[in-house]
Amino acid sequence: MTERELLGLPAAGGVAVGRALVLRDIQADANGSGGEAEQGRALEALARVGAELGETADRVRAEGRTDEADILESNRLMAEDPALLREVRELADQVSAVAAVVQATERHAVLLEDIPDPMLAARAADVRRLGARAARLLTGAPALSTPLRPTIVIARDLGPADTAELDLAAGRVCGIALAGGGATSHAAIMARALGLPMVVGLGEEILGAAEGEPVVLDGDVGAAVLEPSEERLDSSLRAVHERRRTRRELASTRTLPAITRDGKKIRLLCNASTAVEVEAGLAAGAEGVGLLRTELAFLEASDWPSEAEHLAALGPALEPLAGRTATVRTLDFGADKTPPFLAGVAERGLALSLAHPEGFEAQLRAIVAAGAKTQLRVLLPLVESPEQLCEARALLPEGVELGAMIETPEAAGRASEIASEADFLSIGTNDLVQYTLDLDRERPVATVESAADPEVLGHIASVVDAAHARGLTVEICGEAAGVPVLAALLVGLGVDELSIAPAHVDAIRMTVRSLYAQMAAAVAQSALTAGSARQALELGREALLDELGDQGREVVDGLGGVVA
């Protein structure tokens, strides 16, 4: 047969070669009869799904992957949502249990999709997967079994629990190809955490793959190839092995400093939320933590956490950072990180904390106490004005460094004012991309290109200029900092620190060491006036390849990723 290349969107970087395992949709009989027995079956199925999600969350948390565990816990809460259970019970009085759970979850998913907030709208896929998992239980359809050979899982969509369970498959699941889905979904976040290449939005044709047929998946460019030629298979397998070799070589540079060829020092820090992540970042050569998330431990809280609860959560993560930089971000509740006690509250980030001073003060006291042996920096999320900074500073002891996260175009426009009251600035590129480009459900995917959009780069440049005019340090703590070609542009724009996931520290160190800062600056200036994000990326990529040669191509093309 002739090979067929299907184009979608990249969700998790990497190349994978394996055999197709197609997860088929469960067909619900809408004409089936309902009744008390069907109501019981439907509710029991959802209860089992919730229990499975909880068990998987416990396993993932025990492995130190707190972010992923919190995602699973939020999905467990969805399965226990009283409104959803009430609707399932009412439907199951008229139709079969399978039809009831599928129809009820679909209705809730449609409601989420209609919410203007893109982060909430993206959770619609999670709700649909709850229904699909419950339907699978009700019909007795087999769950994913451990494959006996390298496998590409193909499905219409997956939830975070489905993706987490692929990690149980003894390393034989090597990639995920979805007909639908999005790069901002929880499933995509899980895939990136697990290191599984993933492509979404491939369309219905991918579901027609024959069981067991060879598949080549390219998570860097967003493509899946069915029935690949021998030549394609050979080249893809070489790419997989080359990537592994490159990672080993990059790890051998961990004792070297991140200094450009012409002597500019860039501090490499890591993003973390647990002690395991902190230790992984330090082991990879990070100089400290540039973003310690604090809200993920409290997504199920019934009230504002107490000082003792904050101390218990912070202590283990800050202990390895004695004598090192520890940048602790205060609670960034809101949007898709909203605990039950804040349901329906519109405020987010610092504005929300300032509206609840007792809870805010309790966290600040805990941060100062837990970080006493570190080079502590307190970071405030979604800062909008210098007045907010002044209000927060009044609650801190003298001498504690206070930083502002710039995450919106409006804040970037007021960067000089905000810098006048801050000790350092941090740019959160994930939110900055979303708000600058007005991403919504009509354009749900933010790729590497999005962070290279000249308008986004312009905001970053203006923040750097405002900070440097006052002698302040600027860090980047969004996912863009972990992509080599974007890191090159950020260095060119004058950023002082890059805070990245532990897994990306090696590649970004090599990127920095391979650059001439002056050349990067010239390239970045050209990127600011480029006609598109793609052109800006090409400028950065060409500059990197000029300096890195063939080995650089492995880094730039082989270790790319997505910006959520």
Which residues make Cβ contacts (< 8 Å) with residue 331, sequence separation at least 6? 294, 295, 298, 352, 353, 359, 360, 363, 381
Cβ 130 vs Cβ 63: under 8 Å: no
Return the residue matching tokens 């960034």.
332
Token reading at 106: 């679909």
Q: Is 359 helix (H, G, I), strand (E, B) or coil?
A: helix
Instruction: Kindly tell me the burial class for residue 114, based on how many C-beta atoms sit within 10 Å of its own C-beta (0-12, 13-18, 19 or more).
Output: exposed
Contact 12, 181 (CB under 8 A): no
Distance of alpha carbon 251 from alpha carbon 505, whole angstroms: 9
CA atoms within 13 A on the CB side of 342: 27
Q: Active-site residues: which are they? A: 186, 477
Distances (CA, A) of 381 to 39, 200, 219, 370, 385: 45, 30, 31, 20, 12
C-alpha 280/C-alpha 374 separation (Å) is: 18
In the three-class reduction of DSSP (H, G, I as helix; E, B as strand; rest coil), residue 209 is classed as coil
Gap between the Cα atoms of 417 and 423, Å rounded = 12
CA 256 to chain CA centroid, nearest Å: 28
Residue with tokens 């012409």: 262
| Angle at which helices 275-283 and 307-318 cross, to 10° | 20
Tokens of 528: 């600011």
Strands (E), 143-257: 151-155, 173-178, 198-200, 214-218, 223-226
